[in-house]
């Protein structure tokens, strides 16, 4: 089995960006954070699992927490925000 790596902030940014565009990945991270992180090659440590559990409380899996914005020409759009 390949060695699992600690998830860095850059990894997390990337993962959140992908998850915002991928309902399936979101659902998996929300319902099974430990196994999903592991399957992606990350150590499912207590902190990262808790992190996704807390996000789930605010509707992460169905992206109910979208921030609405009128800034439609933002040079760097947040994935999934518009």
Partner 1 sequence: MRARRVGFAAPPFSALSYPSIGLSLLKAALHRRGIASDIHYLYLRFADRIGAVAHDLIVSSETYHALVGEWIFAPFIDETPRPGWDTDLSYFTDVFAAEYPDHFTHQRVHAFMLARTHAEAFLEACMTEVDWSAYGIIGFTTSFQQNTAALALARRIKRRHPETLIVFGGANCRGEMGVELLRQFEFIDVVCTDESDITFPAFAEEWLDGAEPPYLPGLLRRGSPHAETLAPSLVRDMDALPYPDFSDFFTQHAVSDVARRYYPPVALFETSRGCWWGEKHHCTFCGINGLSMAFRSKSPERAFAEIATLARDHGTDLVNVDAILDHRYFTTLLPMLAELPEALTVYYELKSNLRPEHFPLLAAAGITKIQPGIESLDSGILAMMNKGVTRLQNAQTLKLAAEYGLYVEWNLLRGFPGETTAQYRDMLSAMRQLIHLQAPSAFWPVRADRFSPYFNNPAAYGIRVEPNAAYSHIYKFSPGATRALAYHFQIVSDAPGPSGTVLSEVAAACAAWSERPVDAGLTMADDGETIEISDRRPGWPAATHGIGGIEAKILRDCWRIVSVRALSAAYGLEVVQAAVTRLEPLGLLMVEAGNVLCLALRNTRGTAPDWQAIRDRTITAPVWPDPPAVAPAPKPAFATASPPSSGHALPGSHPPLAPPHRERAVSLPAEG
**Which helix (H) or strand (E) element contains residue 13?**
helix 9-21
Neighbours of 15 (CB within 10 A): 19
Q: Which is nearer to partner 1, 28 or 55 (CB)?
A: 55
Of the candidates 2, 3, 24, 71, which one interacts with partner 1 according to CB under 8 A? 71
CB of 44 within 8 A of CB of 35? yes
Q: Which is nearer to partner 1, 32 or 51 (CB)?
A: 51
Secondary structure letter of residue 9 according to DSSP: H
Query: What residues line the site for partner 1 (CB under 8 A)?
Result: 6-10, 12-13, 16-17, 19-20, 47-48, 50-51, 54-55, 57-60, 63, 65-67, 69, 71, 73-81
């Amino acid at each position: 089995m390949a060695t699992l790596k600690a998830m860095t902030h850059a990894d997390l940014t990337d993962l959140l960006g992908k998850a915002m565009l991928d309902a399936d990945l979101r659902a998996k991270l929300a319902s099974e954070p430990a196994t999903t992180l592991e399957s992606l090659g990350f150590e499912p440590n207590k902190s990262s699992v808790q992190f996704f559990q807390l996000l789930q409380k605010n509707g992460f899996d169905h992206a109910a927490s979208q921030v609405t914005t009128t800034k439609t020409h933002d040079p760097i759009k947040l994935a999934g925000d518009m």
